[in-house]
Each structure stands twice: as C-alpha cells, then as structure tokens.
Structure 1
Amino acid sequence: MPEIVRIASPALSADISTLGAELQALRDEAGRDLLWDGDPAWWAGRAPILFPIVGAVAHDEIRVGGHAYRLAKHGFARRAEWQLVERTEACATFRLEDGAATREAYPFAFRLDLRFSIEGATLTVVAMLTNSGTTDLPASFGFHPAFRWPLPYGAAKEDHRVIFAAPEPAPIRRLDSAGLLRPTPEPTPVAGDMLAPDASLFEDDAIIFDRLASRSIWFGAPGTRGLDIAFPDMPELGIWQKPGAPYLCIEPWAGFADPAGYSGELRDKPGILRLPAGSSHQFLMKITLGSETPQ
C-alpha cells in the first residue's frame, strides 16, 4: 500500500504519496486546502509527476535505435511506487530508478530523486535526474499541480487571475484530437502579463507556452492571498483544467507533446533533454502562499 508522508512548518503542510511521489494535499496554517482533492467526477489527479515524457507521443510509442516502445501519455513515473529515502519534519525525498518494468517502455538507466521541503510558507520541490547509463539519456520532465479554483480566501472564481512575471506576447500552442501539437501557433490569450482564466479557454485542452518569457507566475484574486509559483529551471508551461472544473493546473514543463506528424527518434524530438552519461540535471518548483500582489 502507498504511504502518505506529511511535512510541515507552522505556515504550511504537505502530504505526499509514495505512489507517484504525488503531492496529495497542501494546506495553509488554518488547514485550508490549496490543492485539488482529486475528485474523480472531474479528474482523479492532484499533482502528478510527468516523466520520461510530457504529454503524448504519436501512437503512444517512442522510437529508440529504430525500435518502438509503448509509452503512455505523461510517462510512467506518476503510476510507479517510489522509494522513500529521506524523511524529517519538514523534508522528504523519494526515488525512482530504472528496472525491468521501466525498461520495457523506456530502455534507459536513470535515477530520479524528488525532494519536497517546507520552509515558512514555501514548498520547494527539487527533482534531480541522473543518467546512470553509458549513453545519452533523452528525457522530458514536468510538474502538474492542480490548485483550488477558487482559492479558499473568499473571492469568486471569475475574479482570479494568472499574472506572469513578464509580458507574454508570443503565440501559444494547442493540441489536436490525438494530443499532439498542432503545427500552427495561435494568438496568446494573455493580455500583457495577465491571463483571466475561463472555462472556454480550455475547450481546446491545455494552453501551452513554448516560447515563455517568465519563470514565475502569481495565481489568485487581486486583493486576496495568492500563490507565487516559481520554476527557474523549466522553459515551458501548460495551463489546463477540464472545462468548468473547480481547479486550475499550472504546469511547469521541460518538454512537450510530439508535434503532429513527428515520427523520428526520441533523442531528436523537439524539446527533449539529452543528458550525457554520468551527469545530472535539476528541475525546481517553489510554491509560496501569502502575497496579495505578485512579487
């Protein structure tokens, strides 16, 4: 059975499951929920970890050395049992390593450590991917937290905003019916640095920023407490909900779905990270509760 690990400070607490190393709850000092509860009537996820791919690949297959391997959307890390390797009051580290099951879908040696820590009102999540093999490791990685929308601070859903650290005038990307990137970018729905999220925006699935200027956003209703979400190591961002659901996913990514029509090797896929043998790469996200205006 999966184990639930709680870490906390006086200002914030988090529950993490060994199944998928997935954040299960994030609560403020009064016990108010900031994270979506995984109600399957809408979406059973809460904050899945996306590895070794982000999004879908064509026909649910990757190609390595001319061979095809079955790999479902967002990869296998979110459904794997992770090992708990460190645990203190305010910190926990989980580990996933390759084995017979992972190599059937992804024929590479790797170690992925995910460290959750809380200091004050900030949850920091650091993923460290290590190539433990002898060849380059092609991989993508993504965070996928779903936050309550509205947040529990009295503002209406329609008053919430996503405010970027910088203006975001570049076109966005959308997905086709197979979950692959459409070839033609679309105009951004961001006005300057502000997005007013609305269910209609997500009728075409996620909003994907693959030419992102910002490395942090603020989510909340102006004049109330909000969330600062920083992702300095993540070059892409997805924003998604099931239209009308009471959550908003703010998803820092390093990688994205296959472009429609792509049939090449995984190592050549657009947006892929190629990690040399013996090296490591960090992916970081910080979630801070408290500010009423973007920091």
Structure 2
Amino acid sequence: MSDRVKLGSGDLSVVVKAEGAELASLKDAAGREFLWQAEAAWPRHSPVLFPFVGRLRDDTLRIGHEVYPMGQHGFARDSRFELVEQGNAACRFLLVDSAATRAVFPFGFRLEIAYALHGASLTVSYTVTNPGEGTLPFSLGAHPAFRWPLPGAGGKAAHRIEFEQDESGPVWRLDDNGLIDATPQPLPVHGRNLGLREELFRPSAMILLNPASRRLRYTAQGAPALAVSWQGFSHLGLWMKPGAEFLCIEPWAGYADPAQFWGDIWAKPGMEMLGAGESRRYMWRVTVG
C-alpha cells in the first residue's frame, strides 16, 4: 500500500497519509495550500485523536484498580491504518485493535475514517464500532491545522471566526499539566465574531464545551473563506502555537481530564460509551471559498 493517497475533485485536491490516516494537504484548483505543512513548530497536519482527546492525569488510563500508560490524544495518530477502499475522489481507512493497542487500551474496537471530495468540499467521516461484549469507552477528535494567515490574506490580525449561533461561552483552558482548569474565562466574542490574535492562545487552547454552533467560518479579507461544520461532535477546541502560522479548528467528542477529577475511565466526564455491537458516526466538513 502506498504511504500516501491522492484524491481530486477538480475544485480541490487532497493527500492523506496511511500513517495515522492523517490529512496532509488540502489545495484548491489554483494550487493554494490551506493546510499547515507539518513544519518544525508543530510536526503534524491533522492528527486523529483516539481513543482519547487531550491528556489523562499523569498520562495514565485507570480502569478500576488497573492502570495503563496513555499519552496525550491516544495512539491512533501514530498508528498505521489499512487502506480498504480508494477511488478518484474518496478513500477509506481502517484501524482495529491489536495486541499492541490492548496492552495500553484493553478494549476491542474498529475505527473507520473516510475522506470524500464533492466539488469544493471535503468531508471526513469517522465510524467507531464496538465488536466486544462489554461497553467501549472512548473519546474521538479531529485536529486539522489550517494556515494562518490564509492564502491571499494579509497579516494574522485580519482573521476572524464567525460562529453560526450566538456563543456566550465560557472558554475553558488547560493548566500546566494539560488538564481542564477548574476556572473558566469569558469568551471574547463581538456578536458572533471572534477576532483572532496570538495572545488568545498564550495561556493554552481555547475549549468550548457544548457550544450552540455546529458550523463556523474562518475568514479574512482578500482570502477564500473556510466554512467548517461538524456532526456528532459535541465540543470545539481552538489552538495555535504562538509564533507558528496555523490555526487548529477541532471538533471533539470528549476532552482532557478536569483538574479536579481523580476517578477512573467509567466516571471520566465527557466520555463516549458504546454498547456491544454498536456503531457511532461522526463527521466534519470543510468548504473552500
């Protein structure tokens, strides 16, 4: 299997890596790149967050009295997926549990990720299936890093996010251990608009738990706007690394351990629970222009 899959619709072209089933390029018909190219400041493009979003306390998964090592965002982003379907404008990848995954996450699972181009839109779909006899606890998140500034735009300060709905916040932040801080902050919106500047991200990512919107526009004068929408995901993370030229717009089903949480996986806030034999689907879409 090739390490990279190329898809095209005429309006868009994308590249997806088998390693992590990770989106690695998103270009319009003019050849303008909209995705961060994994430069030194952050060597990823759009990692898949599974079976956890964010960090667990002490990077440790607790199941009753048993403990397992679990790094930030889980292992899917560093796992090689199997390419199970490919066409000119669509492909599908699969990751299933193995001896290696069960050593750190003792549950059976199937994670399918599908990419499909339709005109100027890319749709990314995730299907999580529980093949086991008990409940499957998990979190799932998307983490696409879009260029900031956008192609054709001026400086970073010209950019904003326009939410679909009025958003009153609050914004949750991460503490020094990567856990959800106990004290939220106001969301600095004007109407439905969030003006973007690096100072917003110097404390940490901005986390909106259960926002009203399921759609937003990332836009700047002189540049094609990106319309981002999602289904199945309940939360939204916004993140950039100050000094770098990307903005991550991240639909999440789950989030990091709260700083005041000391329980095990069955009590962890925000977890998805999937019954035996059940499947659940999640989706996000980006439209250019």
- Normalising by structure 1, report the TM-score: 0.96
State, as a whole percentage, how many aligned pairs show the same letter. 44
CA displacement at 1:222 relative to structure 2 = 4.1
The code of the aligned residue for 2:85 comes to: E
Equivalence for 2:281: 282
Query: Contact 1:169/1:192 (CA < 8 Å) preserved in 2?
Result: no
Query: Contact 2:50/2:138 (CA < 8 Å) preserved in 1?
Result: yes
CA displacement at 1:92 relative to structure 2 = 0.6
Aligned residues: 289
Deviation per CA, 1:59-83: give whole Å up to 9, x if none.
0011113201110000000000000
**Pairing of 1:73-222 with structure 2 (within 5 A):** 73-222=72-221
Query: Contact 1:38/1:44 (CA < 8 Å) preserved in 2?
Result: yes
Aligned mates of 1:205, 1:98 — CA distance in 2: 32
Equivalence for 2:18: 18
CA displacement at 1:155 relative to structure 2 = 3.3
Query: Contact 1:164/1:214 (CA < 8 Å) preserved in 2?
Result: yes
- Normalising by structure 2, report the TM-score: 0.98
Gaps of 5+ in 1: 291-295
Q: Secondary structure at the match of 2:231?
A: coil
CA displacement at 1:263 relative to structure 2 = 1.9
Query: Contact 2:156/2:196 (CA < 8 Å) preserved in 1?
Result: no
Aligned mates of 2:116, 2:177 — CA distance in 1: 37
The code of the aligned residue for 1:82 comes to: F
CA displacement at 1:223 relative to structure 2 = 5.7
RMSD between aligned alpha carbons? 1.2
Equivalence for 2:250: 251
Q: Secondary structure at the match of 1:252?
A: strand
Aligned mates of 1:36, 1:108 — CA distance in 2: 33
The code of the aligned residue for 1:98 comes to: D
Q: Secondary structure at the match of 1:201?
A: helix
Gaps of 5+ in 2: none
Aligned mates of 1:27, 1:11 — CA distance in 2: 9
Query: Contact 1:2/1:19 (CA < 8 Å) preserved in 2?
Result: no
Query: Contact 1:2/1:81 (CA < 8 Å) preserved in 2?
Result: no
Q: Secondary structure at the match of 2:127?
A: strand
Deviation per CA, 1:78-137: give whole Å up to 9, x if none.
000000000000001000000000011110000000000001000000000000111111
